[in-house]
Amino acid sequence: MVIYLLRHGEAVTLEETPSKNDADRNLTIEGKEKLYQFSRGFINIGLQCDLILTSPYKRAYETAAIISESLGSSPRLEECQFLVPGSDLQDFINHLNKRKDFGSVVVVGHEPFLGNLASLLISGKTSLHIVFKKGGICKIEISELPPKGIGELQYLLTPKIIKALKKK
């Protein structure tokens, strides 16, 4: 299985959100524009997927929708309650284990969950300090999910690197 972990794009502040609810924070106009720009870089690094799992929080869902649109292959897009901030990593791993019928999955979520998930997937522990910038992505190849297996980190890209890839 190939797992891409992608942090949502730049979002409005809580104060700018009418409901004052963190889950309702949407992407900024600039955040959306950057994600559309990054999508060219994603294509250049060979990102392909069958399934996009996203946090139901608005900024993550909007990020997932932009990526889905840019890929053009119409991957299945699903909200996943196990990706909301504060979720238990093992609950998400259990959910992902049920989705092994998909060869490649993009997971769109939040920090520090994504950093901890990346650490768990490549080391079997959450002790590695991995941080995703907004719009940052990593690729992990894994044959069996923890605790039975660990994966191999193929890359971890910041938005600056992705932007540079877009130009090629």
- What are the E-state strand segments in the chain? 2-7, 51-54, 76-79, 104-109, 137-141, 152-157
How much of the chain exceeds pLDDT 90, in percent?
Answer: 75
- Position with higher pLDDT, 38 vs 152: 152
DSSP symbols for 65-81: HHHHHHH-S--EEEE-G
58 in Cβ contact with 24 (< 8 Å) = yes
Q: What is the pLDDT of residues 144-162, one digit of tens each?
A: 998 888 999 999 999 888 8
Q: What is the pLDDT of residues 103-144, one digit of tens each?
A: 999 999 999 999 999 999 999 999 999 999 999 999 999 999
Distance CA 33, CA 106 (A): 20
108 in Cβ contact with 55 (< 8 Å) = yes
pLDDT band for position 167 (50/70/90)? low
